[in-house]
A and B are shown apart, each in its own frame.
Chain A
Amino acid sequence: MPGKLKAKIVAGRHLPVMDRASDLTDAFVEVKFGNTTFKTDVYPKSLNPQWNSEWFKFEVDDEDLQDEPLQITVLDHDTYSANDAIGKVYIDIDPLLSSEAATVISGWFPIYDTIHGIRGEINVLVKVELFNDLNRFRQSSCGVKFFCTTSIPRCYRAVMVHGFVEELVVNEDPEYQWIDRIRTPRASNEARQRLISLMSGELQRKIGLKVLEMGGNAVVGYLQCFDLEGESGLVVRAIGTACTLDKLSNTYTPATAINPCNSSPSKDIKEAGFGEEAPGVPLSSGPPTPLRAQTFSSFSPSKSYSRQSSSSDTELSLTPKTGMGSGGSAGKEAGPLKALLRQQTQTALEQREFPFFTLTSFPPGFLLHVGGVVSARSVKLLDRIHNPALGNTRSYKLLDWNSFTADEPETRDAWWEEIRQEIKSHAKALGCHAVVGYSESTSICEEVCILSASGTAAILSSRFMQDSALDTEHRFEDLMSPGCAFCHIPYDELNMPFPAQLTYCHCCRRYKVPDVLFTTIDLPTEANVTGKGCLIQARLCRTKKKAQGEGNATAISNLLPFLEYELHTQLMNKLKLRSMNALFGLRIQISVGENMLLGLASATGVYLTALPSPGGIQIAGKTPSDITYEQHISNMQKKINDTIAKNKELYEINPPDLVEEVIGSPIPEPRQRSRLFRSHSESSDEVSELDLSHGKKDAFVLEIDDTDAVEDIHSLLTDAPTPPGFYSCNTEIMPGIYNWTSALQMFTSVRVFRLSNVNLTNQGLNKVFNDLCENLLKSLYFKLRSMVPCCLCHVNFTVAVPEDELIQVAVTAVAMSFDKDQTQENGRQSIDKNLMKAITENEDQLQFPLELSAESSSNPLNSAKGLSEVSGPLPSARAPSVDYSSFTDRCSSWIEQLRLKAHTIRCGSIKTMSSLEKASPLPEGRSRSLRSNRSYAGSSVTVVKMTPLSFIPGTKIIKYLGIINMFFIRETTSLREEGGVSGFLHSFIAEVFAMVRAHVAALGGNAVVSYNMKECVFMENPNKNQAQCLINVSGDAVIFVRESELEATPPQPHSASAQTSSSGEGT
């Protein structure tokens, strides 16, 4: 009996009128946990009842505490008929189970009804008393912290990164139970919501147990997903990275934090050992860039049939191999010690079944080299017969699919296992022992399911994977210039897993780098980037014949490689068009519908200084005889060249060696019907790696020999440039922008497009899809125009084919304003010229916003993020050239002085969040007439910021309160009355936001970071005037404080504020 849960119902407000006669409501509340239910008294005839109940006490197992939500139902008492439900509140009490998170849940929660939406609010107090349980065989995992954030959370330090954890649970979907035919939609929806809540709880508990087993205390990058498989059930699965985290206390000084991150034991990658691994891999070649994708499918219930087809191999292997014969001399200095260290890492990783990490950014020194993107897909047939034990009679009994593995080999677990093995082998082929930025997803249409997994093959340092005792031994390793190390190829250049052009790194000039780098991770903070980045999308639509069962699965798996190949081609072309050479945060989503396949690849393109400058794009015609045709081609060529030039200017890409850039090197003879390949100048036969003065420029050749190609080029050029003042990326941060202000707008936008023309060609579909995405972006830019200059960060597109002729696109992103005029505050520029000089010498990228005005809470320190570690409070003082940490200290103390000055000027009041919000100036002209004594009851609602990023600029996260993982269903039978589908979804999304905010506020938080809308399933039936929508969101509830406030607080000891400023740099 290790826990006591206590709940108190305080009051309600804004309740709906339930009694038409009196225009009032006789409300009471049922509080339920597990099988125990308490009731409050009826508070008669009021829309604002004051129950002020006693404490309801539940004595429960901590196992139940983890699994079950607290269920609060508000009802209207009716003497004669059954009581009417007003709505419900589900409260996840998991945050109360960890000593470091929230201690009490208290606040106003929206009362939610799946049919009517939010109907008033209820004030609830919840506490948990937990008794220590030292039972070794316990089933609970209380105290394990969960984070959605895919980096080490801001106020923690990673002691150990244990690795991949995964789990899945399966149950029957209540919506498909026989009982659903006789119960109300409300009952069915609530059954589903409750079931998913239970399953999530159970899943989290099981993952927690695995983490404890591994010796960790936290899961970072926790990603939980639902697969609504319809008839065959409901799968809740989760992956994450187990870690041991240390909370950074306030007295923790940066000096001590330096120690653990000071060494990167292994940096060298060019050991022979890796060549030997490569042949073991089934793939011998792949796309020219490090994107390895393989589709394999097995779609018959008789499991064994699994067809392997390496995607696009046939086409791409035509690409001429470049002669990279002579090994770089630089690589040969690899000492035996390094080899040893490397081996240690190797073994540390090999102990794990899957050396996967869901993290996308890393503590300094963890990520050594990046190989490229690895991905795997598999097409499966869902079948109900897998689940014979699931009878109709069980309603909510949870069943773990794992328990059936013995009888049924074809389980979801086995499917994922298969895919993960695939990924692992891909990574090996790239000479890498780990996969980072790993994620999994599914797309389901009827009984066909595409499972996808992708990640970035990488080589990691062993430092976070073994006992820290090793640390002190290899400090000498830190010679590598930090900005380019991760670009250096991890694979053996003599035995390259795919043809690629290698050159010497443009930064250190010692190691080999590929010409293009694709990754699924965030841009490492230490990376040297030229100019700014931008969002790059490849969009593709392919028709598919309607089919059933195996035929359908075969058709899909046959289409997949082509889809992936074309997406890849598009990405590559668009990247070249922007004159960039690397993609970060690459996410390829393939969505399957009855009669089409949608592919959407999003990534952030950047110019990595370390990588060679990309060549231009050359168009080649096939029939050069025709004059007009040639003219047409030269026109297009000109357009392309212009666009490239324009883009270079737009994204400020002027690498120092760009002067001799020639767009369009000699066009090679078009040998094959391959539209995309690399040319290489004949002079470069004798490897010119040593000659860095003129990096080989190779132009991409687009041959126009069919309509497809014309379409490709067309789509290239129709991508509208972002309007002035806007930038966009799908990663956490945008290279080249450091001076964020605190203006923040998270949003979700959803569009559904109906294709009325059934006989669309691929091209037509492509255009529709492309326009849909482009117009959506245009609309976003327009809506957010008041925030200019601003950057849309973490732009996350999800596509779906909800019905035959519908395409659904949903976007969640955050718009963040930044200060364009960095020299605006020129008065302060001169204050410390030396400092400025120091910065400019070290990082030409770095600009220093000296914005200290009272209104703007832009963080002057955030500019230091180029120097310092962004992903955590671990200061990175490891760069050999400059002592960054001391620099940081200097600069923070200097800024502190300024701040103090600025602060005394604005009358030294310590502002709270809400007062800050209120302090914003009233609209011109009105402020005069508004009385100061006007009371805004609004101060009672906490402002809760939401962002998909792991940080909020200008602030410091001081506490993580727990994970937010919510699932809602909304249904209507009066669609027209609610403003049609748009009105329905608009209010539903607003309601979801409201509920997330309310839960965060009740935990005592003021923001959600790493917010993610993982699922938005929308179904409609306009003829019946009905619609239904399911939304699943997640994030981390946090408390943040503005950095200006932190430093303004007088009792704060100096050491603490120094810590604040140095660890807050990343924010």
Chain B
Amino acid sequence: MSMELDVFVGNTTIIDEEVYQLWLDGHSVSDAVRMRLESDALSECEASGEVLHSDTMDQYRTFQMCERLLHCPSKLANQLLFQIPAHRQAMLIERYYEFDHTFAREVLGKKLSKGTKKDLDDISLKTGVALKSCRRQFDNFKRVFKVVEELKGPLVENVQHHFLLSDSLARDYAAVVFFANSRFETGKRKLQYLSFQDFAFCAGQLISYWTVGAVDNMMEDMDVDLEKEFLHDLKDLKVLVNDKDMLDQHKSLVCYQLKGKIKAFSEMEANFKNLSRALINIASKLTNTKDVRDLFIDLVEKFIEPCRSDKWTVGDLTLFLTHYTSTAHTLEMFRFQILWERYMGVIKSCILKMYHD
């Protein structure tokens, strides 16, 4: 005695968001049924396990059939098999491409290759995200990466256009793609305290200001790579630390501005040259791909950690960086104003984002 076959097909495809989430989270049908039974939301329906099982099976089947289409979201909109209202389609796509930040943090900066895919069970164990879900998220990363990698134009808009994602999710994907492409080091122990959101923010800054597309909005521009010319020019900033007069003048100007305004003034005064040297060195080394990858670890080791040991507050740091940047303009001999602004703008916001415990 058994149900051999049990299907339900609506003219408008019925999608239960709750079950969809369970499916996305990688739960098996029986797990999903158990969880639905336990949830309060359905208690009023007095649904029996049998009913729930049948419903869950139907939903899972529907999702499996839709999955093929979700891989290419624009197909979902003009396919004929499932009649799904536009806003539900948007929900399906958005949810399918949403990812766990803890998972993304682990994959960030890694090559989206088969090798990484093999490590997914470790990541699954570490993050507590089900392996099935890890695989889906990883495949999503890979798929998005593959599509937008070679595309011209703004990265975020490319993601958005091809995958019909919301603005914020598209930005997150842009960050993932950007990190995967440039292979930034994020795995070091010292960087462990940084969250996905921190990195995503930094990626956003880098994409907005340091890529080719950042300077002129010509459509042919690539948005995934940092602008080579800019990185090369950064060497010119060395003058700020190599020229003794300029360094002293810079220091005095900053000190003048900050006196009495920050708590860690004395530490700042003592350390100014080291800090300045650190920032300029980072800038000058960025021509080297290896050093680009180490951007974040360098920022932490060379700048954030000294400040942290001197117990700077975020306010102190903000003021310092603001004036450190602006006073350079008043230096008579300093001719690289635009370059300086472009460099420091990003460095400042990244440091501020990364400056926490």
Q: A: which residues have CB within 8 A of B?
A: 13-14, 108, 110, 118, 121, 723, 745-757, 768, 775, 778-780, 782-785, 806, 808, 917-918, 920-923, 926, 929-931, 934-941, 943-946, 979, 981-983, 985-987, 989-991, 993-994, 997-998, 1018, 1020
B58 touches A986 (CB 8 A): yes
Q: Counting CB contacts under 8 A, is B119 at the interface?
A: no
Report how far A946 CA is from B12 CA in the complex, Å. 9
Q: Which of A752, A922, A994, A997 contacts B5 (CB 8 A)?
A: A752
A121 touches B80 (CB 8 A): yes
| Residues on B with beta carbons closer than 8 Å to the beta carbon of A983 | 61, 64
Q: A750-B7, A923-B91, A931-B167 are in contact. List 20 more A-B contacts (CB 8 A).
A: A118-B80, A745-B14, A751-B6, A755-B1, A768-B1, A775-B50, A783-B14, A783-B58, A918-B85, A926-B90, A939-B77, A940-B78, A979-B61, A982-B5, A982-B57, A983-B61, A986-B58, A994-B83, A997-B11, A1018-B5
Q: Which of B4, B90, B166, B169 contacts A752 (CB 8 A)?
A: B4
B12 touches A989 (CB 8 A): no
Render B56-79 as a binary contact track against A, CB cut-off 8 A, 1 for contact.
011001101100000000111111
Report how far A982 CA is from B29 CA in the complex, Å. 15
Known: A14-B75, A923-B17. A917 touches B81 (CB 8 A): no
| Residues on A with beta carbons closer than 8 Å to the beta carbon of B168 | 929
Q: How far is the CB of B31 from chain A (nearest CB, A)?
A: 19
Q: Counting CB contacts under 8 A, is B10 at the interface?
A: yes
Render B40-61 as a binary contact track against A, CB cut-off 8 A, 1 for contact.
0000011110111011011001
A994 touches B80 (CB 8 A): yes
Q: Counting CB contacts under 8 A, is B125 at the interface?
A: no
Query: Which residue of chain B has its CB nearest to the CB of A995?
Result: B80
Render B1-30 as a binary contact track against A, CB cut-off 8 A, 1 for contact.
111111111111110010000000000000
Known: A778-B51, A936-B77, A982-B57. A930 touches B5 (CB 8 A): no
| Residues on B with beta carbons closer than 8 Å to the beta carbon of A937 | 74, 77-78
A753 touches B80 (CB 8 A): no
B8 touches A779 (CB 8 A): yes
Q: Which of B8, B50, B78, B166 contacts A929 (CB 8 A)?
A: B166
Q: Counting CB contacts under 8 A, is B139 at the interface?
A: no
Known: A14-B75, A993-B11. A943 touches B4 (CB 8 A): no
Q: Counting CB contacts under 8 A, is B313 at the interface?
A: no
A748 touches B9 (CB 8 A): yes
A779 touches B55 (CB 8 A): yes
Report how far A849 CA is from B8 CA in the complex, Å. 32
Q: How far is the CB of A458 from chain B (nearest CB, A)?
A: 34
Report how far A121 CA is from B77 CA in the complex, Å. 13
Q: B: which residues have CB within 8 A of A?
A: 1-14, 17, 45-48, 50-52, 54-55, 57-58, 61-62, 64-65, 74-83, 85-87, 89-91, 94, 160-161, 164, 166-169
Known: A750-B7, A926-B166, A982-B7. A918 touches B82 (CB 8 A): no
Query: Which residue of chain B has its CB nearest to the CB of A749?
Result: B8
Report how far A768 CA is from B2 CA in the complex, Å. 10
Report how far A221 CA is from B70 CA in the complex, Å. 41
B86 touches A14 (CB 8 A): no
Q: How far is the CB of A23 from chain B (nearest CB, A)?
A: 14
| Residues on B with beta carbons closer than 8 Å to the beta carbon of A753 | 1-4
Q: How far is the CB of A995 from chain B (nearest CB, A)?
A: 8
B90 touches A922 (CB 8 A): yes
A941 touches B78 (CB 8 A): yes
| Residues on A with beta carbons closer than 8 Å to the beta carbon of B13 | 990
Report how far A891 CA is from B218 CA in the complex, Å. 61
Query: Which residue of chain B has its CB nearest to the CB of A808?
Result: B5
| Residues on B with beta carbons closer than 8 Å to the beta carbon of A938 | 76-78, 86, 89
A-B contact pairs, 20 of them (CB 8 A): A751-B7, A752-B5, A752-B6, A754-B1, A755-B1, A756-B1, A779-B54, A783-B14, A783-B58, A917-B85, A922-B87, A922-B90, A926-B166, A929-B167, A940-B77, A983-B61, A989-B9, A990-B81, A994-B80, A1018-B5
Q: How far is the CB of B99 from chain A (nearest CB, A)?
A: 15
B91 touches A926 (CB 8 A): yes
Report how far A994 CA is from B84 CA in the complex, Å. 12
| Residues on B with beta carbons closer than 8 Å to the beta carbon of A922 | 87, 90-91
| Residues on A with beta carbons closer than 8 Å to the beta carbon of B12 | 745
| Residues on B with beta carbons closer than 8 Å to the beta carbon of A779 | 8, 51, 54-55
A747 touches B87 (CB 8 A): no
Report how far A76 CA is from B90 CA in the complex, Å. 34
B81 touches A918 (CB 8 A): no
Query: Which residue of chain B has its CB nearest to the CB of A787?
Result: B14
Q: Which of B65, B87, B89, B160 contacts A921 (CB 8 A)?
A: B87
A754 touches B81 (CB 8 A): no
B91 touches A982 (CB 8 A): no
Known: A783-B14, A936-B77. A989 touches B7 (CB 8 A): yes
Known: A917-B85, A994-B81. A783 touches B65 (CB 8 A): no
B5 touches A998 (CB 8 A): no
Q: How far is the CB of A435 from chain B (nearest CB, A)?
A: 33
Residue from B1, B48, B74, B91 having most chain A Cβ neighbours under 10 A: B1
Query: Which residue of chain A has its CB nearest to the CB of B60?
Result: A979
Report how far A920 CA is from B58 CA in the complex, Å. 25
Known: A779-B54, A782-B55. A936 touches B89 (CB 8 A): yes
Residue from B62, B77, B82, B91 having most chain A Cβ neighbours under 10 A: B77
| Residues on B with beta carbons closer than 8 Å to the beta carbon of A755 | 1
Report how far A752 CA is from B167 CA in the complex, Å. 46
Report how far A986 CA is from B17 CA in the complex, Å. 20
Report how far A994 CA is from B11 CA in the complex, Å. 8
Report how far A846 CA is from B50 CA in the complex, Å. 40
Residue from B10, B77, B169 having most chain A Cβ neighbours under 10 A: B10
| Residues on B with beta carbons closer than 8 Å to the beta carbon of A751 | 3, 5-7
7 pairs of A and B residues whose beta carbons are closest in the complex: A938-B77, A752-B5, A929-B166, A937-B77, A747-B10, A989-B9, A752-B4
| Residues on A with beta carbons closer than 8 Å to the beta carbon of B45 | 723, 782, 785
A918 touches B46 (CB 8 A): no
Query: Which residue of chain A has its CB nearest to the CB of B6?
Result: A751
| Residues on A with beta carbons closer than 8 Å to the beta carbon of B81 | 110, 118, 987, 990-991, 994
B7 touches A979 (CB 8 A): no
| Residues on A with beta carbons closer than 8 Å to the beta carbon of B74 | 937
| Residues on B with beta carbons closer than 8 Å to the beta carbon of A917 | 85-86
Report how far A13 CA is from B69 CA in the complex, Å. 14
Q: Which of B62, B75, B77, B90 contacts A930 (CB 8 A)?
A: B90
Report how far A14 CA is from B80 CA in the complex, Å. 11
| Residues on A with beta carbons closer than 8 Å to the beta carbon of B6 | 750-752, 982
A946 touches B87 (CB 8 A): no
Query: Which residue of chain B has its CB nearest to the CB of A920?
Result: B87
B5 touches A990 (CB 8 A): no
Query: Which residue of chain A has its CB nearest to the CB of B14?
Result: A783
| Residues on B with beta carbons closer than 8 Å to the beta carbon of A121 | 80
A945 touches B11 (CB 8 A): yes
| Residues on B with beta carbons closer than 8 Å to the beta carbon of A783 | 8, 14, 55, 58
Query: Which residue of chain A has its CB nearest to the CB of B10?
Result: A747
Report how far A110 CA is from B82 CA in the complex, Å. 12
Q: Which of A108, A986, A1020 contacts B7 (CB 8 A)?
A: A986
| Residues on B with beta carbons closer than 8 Å to the beta carbon of A780 | 8
Q: How far is the CB of B8 from chain A (nearest CB, A)?
A: 4
Q: Which of B2, B5, B10, B46 contacts A985 (CB 8 A)?
A: B5
Report how far A294 CA is from B198 CA in the complex, Å. 81
B14 touches A750 (CB 8 A): no
B5 touches A782 (CB 8 A): no
Q: Which of B5, B80, B91, B164 contacts A750 (CB 8 A)?
A: B5
A997 touches B83 (CB 8 A): yes
| Residues on A with beta carbons closer than 8 Å to the beta carbon of B77 | 936-941
Report how far A784 CA is from B47 CA in the complex, Å. 12
| Residues on A with beta carbons closer than 8 Å to the beta carbon of B1 | 753-757, 768
Q: How far is the CB of B95 from chain A (nearest CB, A)?
A: 9
B4 touches A110 (CB 8 A): no
A941 touches B3 (CB 8 A): no
Report how far A979 CA is from B81 CA in the complex, Å. 17
